[in-house]
Amino acid sequence: MSNSSPPSAIVLYGRAAFDQTQNLTQLAARLHEVLQPDRAGCRITTAFADLTGPSLPDVLDALAAAGIEDTTVVTCMVPADPSLSTWLAGALSQWRADRGAAMTVRLAPPVEQAIDMAAAVAAVLALPAAGDVAQVVPSLGKPGWSKIPEHGRQVFFCVGARCLHRAAEPLYQHLRSAMKSHRALAAGPRRVMCARSSCLYPCNLGPLMTVHPDGVWYGGLTRERIDRIVAEHLLGDVRVEECVVHAAVK
Ligand code: FES
Protein backbone atom coordinates (compact mmCIF):
# COMPACT_ATOMS: atom_id res chain seq x y z
CA MET A 1 0.00 0.00 0.00
CA SER A 2 1.54 3.34 -1.01
CA ASN A 3 1.42 6.52 1.05
CA SER A 4 -1.22 7.92 -1.35
CA SER A 5 -3.64 5.12 -0.36
CA PRO A 6 -6.65 6.12 1.76
CA PRO A 7 -5.95 6.25 5.50
CA SER A 8 -6.26 2.70 6.74
CA ALA A 9 -6.09 0.78 10.00
CA ILE A 10 -5.74 -2.74 11.31
CA VAL A 11 -7.47 -3.77 14.53
CA LEU A 12 -6.16 -6.85 16.34
CA TYR A 13 -9.14 -8.29 18.21
CA GLY A 14 -8.64 -10.78 21.03
CA ARG A 15 -10.17 -12.15 24.20
CA ALA A 16 -8.84 -10.82 27.47
CA ALA A 17 -10.42 -13.90 29.03
CA PHE A 18 -7.51 -15.89 27.69
CA ASP A 19 -5.05 -13.44 29.20
CA GLN A 20 -3.81 -12.22 25.87
CA THR A 21 -3.89 -8.52 26.70
CA GLN A 22 -0.15 -8.17 26.91
CA ASN A 23 0.51 -10.44 23.96
CA LEU A 24 -1.91 -8.56 21.75
CA THR A 25 -0.23 -5.25 22.55
CA GLN A 26 3.18 -6.73 21.82
CA LEU A 27 1.82 -8.26 18.62
CA ALA A 28 0.59 -4.85 17.42
CA ALA A 29 4.08 -3.38 17.90
CA ARG A 30 5.74 -6.32 16.14
CA LEU A 31 3.23 -6.24 13.27
CA HIS A 32 4.01 -2.58 12.77
CA GLU A 33 7.65 -3.54 12.12
CA VAL A 34 6.76 -6.47 9.87
CA LEU A 35 4.47 -4.38 7.67
CA GLN A 36 7.07 -1.67 7.01
CA PRO A 37 7.45 -0.06 4.53
CA ASP A 38 4.40 -1.20 2.53
CA ARG A 39 1.87 -0.06 5.10
CA ALA A 40 3.93 2.69 6.67
CA GLY A 41 0.92 4.95 7.25
CA CYS A 42 -1.42 2.23 8.48
CA ARG A 43 -2.58 2.50 12.09
CA ILE A 44 -2.41 -0.71 14.10
CA THR A 45 -4.46 -0.93 17.24
CA THR A 46 -6.06 -3.47 19.57
CA ALA A 47 -9.57 -4.17 20.86
CA PHE A 48 -10.88 -6.76 23.28
CA ALA A 49 -13.84 -9.06 23.09
CA ASP A 50 -14.47 -9.35 26.81
CA LEU A 51 -13.54 -8.30 30.35
CA THR A 52 -11.55 -5.21 29.43
CA GLY A 53 -11.53 -2.31 27.03
CA PRO A 54 -11.27 -0.85 24.59
CA SER A 55 -14.18 -2.60 22.93
CA LEU A 56 -14.36 -2.98 19.17
CA PRO A 57 -17.13 -0.34 18.74
CA ASP A 58 -15.05 2.16 20.78
CA VAL A 59 -12.00 1.53 18.62
CA LEU A 60 -13.98 1.76 15.37
CA ASP A 61 -15.61 5.00 16.55
CA ALA A 62 -12.18 6.48 17.24
CA LEU A 63 -10.80 5.36 13.88
CA ALA A 64 -13.80 6.75 12.00
CA ALA A 65 -13.51 10.05 13.89
CA ALA A 66 -9.82 10.19 12.94
CA GLY A 67 -10.73 9.99 9.26
CA ILE A 68 -9.67 6.39 8.66
CA GLU A 69 -11.40 5.13 5.53
CA ASP A 70 -10.59 1.44 5.48
CA THR A 71 -10.21 -0.81 8.53
CA THR A 72 -9.43 -4.51 8.66
CA VAL A 73 -10.24 -6.47 11.80
CA VAL A 74 -8.15 -9.57 12.50
CA THR A 75 -9.23 -11.94 15.27
CA CYS A 76 -6.07 -13.13 16.99
CA MET A 77 -5.21 -15.83 19.48
CA VAL A 78 -8.83 -16.75 20.05
CA PRO A 79 -9.27 -20.48 20.43
CA ALA A 80 -11.61 -21.77 17.72
CA ASP A 81 -14.96 -20.28 18.59
CA PRO A 82 -17.48 -20.54 15.77
CA SER A 83 -20.11 -18.58 17.67
CA LEU A 84 -17.77 -15.59 18.00
CA SER A 85 -16.61 -15.61 14.38
CA THR A 86 -20.14 -16.01 13.02
CA TRP A 87 -21.45 -13.26 15.26
CA LEU A 88 -18.61 -10.84 14.63
CA ALA A 89 -19.28 -10.19 10.93
CA GLY A 90 -22.92 -9.31 11.65
CA ALA A 91 -21.98 -7.16 14.64
CA LEU A 92 -19.46 -5.19 12.57
CA SER A 93 -22.06 -4.73 9.87
CA GLN A 94 -24.47 -3.53 12.57
CA TRP A 95 -21.86 -1.00 13.76
CA ARG A 96 -21.63 0.43 10.24
CA ALA A 97 -25.42 0.57 9.91
CA ASP A 98 -25.91 2.21 13.34
CA ARG A 99 -23.24 4.86 12.77
CA GLY A 100 -24.02 5.39 9.08
CA ALA A 101 -20.25 5.08 8.81
CA ALA A 102 -18.52 5.73 5.52
CA MET A 103 -15.51 3.73 6.71
CA THR A 104 -15.13 0.35 5.02
CA VAL A 105 -14.75 -2.42 7.59
CA ARG A 106 -13.26 -5.74 6.56
CA LEU A 107 -12.98 -8.95 8.50
CA ALA A 108 -9.85 -10.98 7.79
CA PRO A 109 -9.59 -14.73 8.40
CA PRO A 110 -8.70 -15.34 12.05
CA VAL A 111 -5.18 -16.17 13.17
CA GLU A 112 -5.49 -18.54 16.07
CA GLN A 113 -1.90 -19.37 16.87
CA ALA A 114 1.48 -19.38 15.15
CA ILE A 115 5.12 -19.38 16.16
CA ASP A 116 5.52 -15.96 14.55
CA MET A 117 2.11 -14.35 15.05
CA ALA A 118 3.11 -11.06 13.39
CA ALA A 119 4.20 -12.87 10.22
CA ALA A 120 1.00 -14.95 10.29
CA VAL A 121 -1.18 -11.84 10.61
CA ALA A 122 0.80 -10.13 7.82
CA ALA A 123 0.18 -13.18 5.61
CA VAL A 124 -3.54 -13.06 6.33
CA LEU A 125 -3.63 -9.35 5.52
CA ALA A 126 -2.01 -10.07 2.16
CA LEU A 127 -4.85 -12.44 1.19
CA PRO A 128 -7.70 -11.10 -0.93
CA ALA A 129 -10.13 -12.78 1.47
CA ALA A 130 -10.79 -9.94 3.95
CA GLY A 131 -14.52 -9.56 3.41
CA ASP A 132 -16.25 -6.18 3.49
CA VAL A 133 -18.81 -6.50 6.28
CA ALA A 134 -21.22 -4.35 4.26
CA GLN A 135 -22.07 -7.63 2.47
CA VAL A 136 -23.25 -9.19 5.76
CA VAL A 137 -26.70 -8.73 7.30
CA PRO A 138 -26.34 -6.38 10.30
CA SER A 139 -27.02 -8.25 13.53
CA LEU A 140 -25.97 -8.09 17.15
CA GLY A 141 -27.21 -11.59 17.89
CA LYS A 142 -29.30 -14.58 16.88
CA PRO A 143 -33.01 -14.51 17.80
CA GLY A 144 -32.40 -17.42 20.19
CA TRP A 145 -30.09 -15.20 22.24
CA SER A 146 -33.13 -13.39 23.63
CA LYS A 147 -34.20 -16.53 25.49
CA ILE A 148 -33.04 -17.22 29.02
CA PRO A 149 -31.98 -20.88 29.02
CA GLU A 150 -33.69 -23.23 31.42
CA HIS A 151 -31.56 -23.59 34.54
CA GLY A 152 -31.84 -24.16 38.24
CA ARG A 153 -28.70 -22.51 39.55
CA GLN A 154 -26.02 -20.02 38.61
CA VAL A 155 -22.44 -20.22 39.77
CA PHE A 156 -20.12 -17.22 39.75
CA PHE A 157 -16.49 -18.24 40.06
CA CYS A 158 -14.08 -15.45 40.97
CA VAL A 159 -11.07 -15.01 38.71
CA GLY A 160 -10.14 -11.60 40.10
CA ALA A 161 -6.46 -10.86 40.74
CA ARG A 162 -6.26 -12.26 44.27
CA CYS A 163 -8.20 -15.44 43.52
CA LEU A 164 -6.25 -15.94 40.31
CA HIS A 165 -3.10 -15.78 42.41
CA ARG A 166 -4.53 -18.66 44.42
CA ALA A 167 -4.95 -20.88 41.33
CA ALA A 168 -8.56 -19.91 40.55
CA GLU A 169 -8.21 -20.54 36.82
CA PRO A 170 -7.24 -24.25 36.96
CA LEU A 171 -9.84 -24.68 39.71
CA TYR A 172 -12.49 -23.17 37.46
CA GLN A 173 -11.47 -25.58 34.70
CA HIS A 174 -11.75 -28.40 37.25
CA LEU A 175 -15.27 -27.27 38.15
CA ARG A 176 -16.26 -27.23 34.47
CA SER A 177 -14.94 -30.72 33.85
CA ALA A 178 -16.46 -32.05 37.09
CA MET A 179 -19.82 -30.66 35.98
CA LYS A 180 -19.45 -32.10 32.50
CA SER A 181 -19.36 -35.60 33.93
CA HIS A 182 -22.92 -35.14 35.26
CA ARG A 183 -25.48 -34.84 32.48
CA ALA A 184 -28.15 -33.63 34.91
CA LEU A 185 -26.18 -30.41 35.37
CA ALA A 186 -26.03 -29.67 31.65
CA ALA A 187 -29.71 -29.42 30.74
CA GLY A 188 -33.17 -29.14 32.23
CA PRO A 189 -34.24 -27.76 35.59
CA ARG A 190 -31.04 -28.80 37.35
CA ARG A 191 -28.81 -27.16 34.79
CA VAL A 192 -26.08 -24.96 36.29
CA MET A 193 -25.05 -21.88 34.39
CA CYS A 194 -21.46 -21.10 35.19
CA ALA A 195 -19.63 -17.79 34.72
CA ARG A 196 -16.30 -16.39 35.73
CA SER A 197 -16.49 -13.10 37.58
CA SER A 198 -14.12 -10.32 38.54
CA CYS A 199 -13.39 -9.65 42.23
CA LEU A 200 -16.27 -10.53 44.56
CA TYR A 201 -14.54 -8.60 47.43
CA PRO A 202 -13.69 -11.05 50.27
CA CYS A 203 -10.39 -11.87 48.56
CA ASN A 204 -8.75 -13.30 51.68
CA LEU A 205 -11.33 -16.10 51.61
CA GLY A 206 -10.51 -17.07 48.02
CA PRO A 207 -10.53 -18.88 45.77
CA LEU A 208 -14.23 -18.21 45.92
CA MET A 209 -17.48 -19.08 44.18
CA THR A 210 -21.12 -18.26 44.79
CA VAL A 211 -24.15 -20.46 44.13
CA HIS A 212 -27.49 -18.78 43.36
CA PRO A 213 -30.38 -18.56 44.01
CA ASP A 214 -29.25 -20.35 47.18
CA GLY A 215 -27.12 -17.36 48.20
CA VAL A 216 -24.24 -19.58 49.28
CA TRP A 217 -20.62 -18.43 49.10
CA TYR A 218 -17.92 -21.08 49.12
CA GLY A 219 -14.30 -20.17 49.94
CA GLY A 220 -10.89 -21.74 50.23
CA LEU A 221 -11.68 -23.81 47.17
CA THR A 222 -9.62 -26.82 46.29
CA ARG A 223 -10.26 -29.59 43.78
CA GLU A 224 -11.56 -31.80 46.57
CA ARG A 225 -13.91 -29.11 47.82
CA ILE A 226 -15.19 -28.46 44.32
CA ASP A 227 -15.87 -32.18 43.83
CA ARG A 228 -17.90 -32.17 47.05
CA ILE A 229 -19.83 -29.02 46.10
CA VAL A 230 -20.73 -30.57 42.75
CA ALA A 231 -21.79 -33.90 44.28
CA GLU A 232 -23.49 -32.69 47.45
CA HIS A 233 -24.85 -29.23 46.60
CA LEU A 234 -25.37 -29.03 42.83
CA LEU A 235 -26.56 -32.63 42.54
CA GLY A 236 -27.78 -33.37 46.05
CA ASP A 237 -29.18 -29.98 47.14
CA VAL A 238 -27.26 -30.11 50.43
CA ARG A 239 -24.74 -27.36 50.95
CA VAL A 240 -21.23 -28.29 52.04
CA GLU A 241 -21.15 -26.51 55.39
CA GLU A 242 -17.42 -26.71 56.04
CA CYS A 243 -16.70 -24.78 52.81
CA VAL A 244 -19.40 -22.13 53.32
CA VAL A 245 -18.04 -18.65 54.08
CA HIS A 246 -21.40 -16.92 53.85
CA ALA A 247 -24.99 -17.99 53.35
CA ALA A 248 -27.97 -15.72 52.80
CA VAL A 249 -30.12 -18.17 54.78
CA LYS A 250 -28.54 -19.83 57.82
S1 FES B 1 -10.18 -11.58 43.75
FE2 FES B 1 -11.65 -13.09 44.27
S3 FES B 1 -12.77 -12.17 45.85
FE4 FES B 1 -11.32 -10.65 45.28
Q: Let me know whether 134 and 188 are in one domain.
A: no
Domain end, chosen from 97, 117, 143, is at 143
Q: Mean pLDDT, to the nearest integer, of 64-84?
A: 83
Beta-carbon-side half-sphere exposure of residue 168 (alpha carbons within 13 Å):
26
Q: Let me know whether 205 and 131 are in one domain.
A: no
- Please determine, for residue 83, whether its predicted confidence score (pLDDT) is greater than 80: no
Q: Does the beta carbon of 158 sit less than 6 angstroms from any atom of ligand 1?
A: yes
* pLDDT at residue 2 in the model: 43
Q: Let me know whether 110 and 186 are in one domain.
A: no
Q: Is the pTM of this model over 0.85?
A: no
CA of 160 to the centre of ligand 1 (A): 5
- Distance between CA atoms of residues 124 and 106, nearest Å: 12
- Please determine, for residue 109, whether its predicted confidence score (pLDDT) is greater than 70: yes
Domain end, chosen from 143, 166, 189, is at 143
Q: Let me know whether 171 and 90 are in one domain.
A: no
Report the nearest atom of ligand 1 relative to the CA of 168: 2
**71: domain range?**
8-143
Q: Does the beta carbon of 160 sit less than 6 angstroms from any atom of ligand 1?
A: yes
- Domain membership of residue 109 (yes or no) is yes
What's the pLDDT tens digit per position in 205-231?
Answer: 999 999 999 999 999 999 999 999 999
CA of 196 to the centre of ligand 1 (A): 11
Query: How would you class 139 by CB atoms within 10 Å of its CB: exposed for 0-12, middle for 13-18, buried for 19 or more?
Result: middle
Facing residues of 93 across strands?
none
CATH number of the domain that 243 lies in? 3.40.30.10
Q: Let me know whether 131 and 199 are in one domain.
A: no
Q: Let me know whether 134 and 196 are in one domain.
A: no
Domain end, chosen from 143, 170, 198, is at 143
Q: Let me know whether 131 and 236 are in one domain.
A: no
The number of distinct structural domains making up the chain is 2
Q: Let me know whether 108 and 135 are in one domain.
A: yes
Question: In sequence order, which residues have a C-beta less than 8 Å from that of residue 81 and are 6 or more positions away?
Answer: none
* pLDDT at residue 3 in the model: 46
CATH number of the domain that 21 lies in? 3.40.50
Residue 185 confidence class, pLDDT cut points 50, 70, 90? very high
Q: Does the beta carbon of 196 sit less than 6 angstroms from any atom of ligand 1?
A: no
Q: Let me know whether 110 and 202 are in one domain.
A: no
- Distance between CA atoms of residues 64 and 140, nearest Å: 20
Q: Let me know whether 170 and 123 are in one domain.
A: no
CA of 165 to the centre of ligand 1 (A): 10
- Domain membership of residue 2 (yes or no) is no
Q: Let me know whether 111 and 178 are in one domain.
A: no
Question: In sequence order, which residues have a C-beta less than 8 Å from that of residue 74 and are 6 or more positions away?
Answer: 10, 11, 12, 13, 108, 110, 111, 121, 124, 125
- Domain membership of residue 114 (yes or no) is yes
Q: Mean pLDDT, to the nearest integer, of 176-185?
A: 92
Residue 152 confidence class, pLDDT cut points 50, 70, 90? very high
- Please determine, for residue 1, whether its predicted confidence score (pLDDT) is greater than 50: no
Q: Whose CA is nearest to atom 3 of ligand 1?
A: 203
% of the chain with per-residue pLDDT over 90: 47
Q: Does the beta carbon of 203 sit less than 6 angstroms from any atom of ligand 1?
A: yes
Q: Let me know whether 125 and 189 are in one domain.
A: no
What's the pLDDT tens digit per position in 3-33?
Answer: 457 789 999 998 776 555 567 888 888 888 8
Mean pLDDT across the chain: 87
CA of 209 to the centre of ligand 1 (A): 9
Q: Does the beta carbon of 200 sit less than 6 angstroms from any atom of ligand 1?
A: yes
What's the pLDDT tens digit per position in 114-126?
Answer: 778 888 888 888 8
What's the pLDDT tens digit per position in 136-146?
Answer: 888 888 878 88
Q: Does the beta carbon of 205 sit less than 6 angstroms from any atom of ligand 1?
A: no
- Please determine, for residue 127, whether its predicted confidence score (pLDDT) is greater than 90: no
CA of 163 to the centre of ligand 1 (A): 5
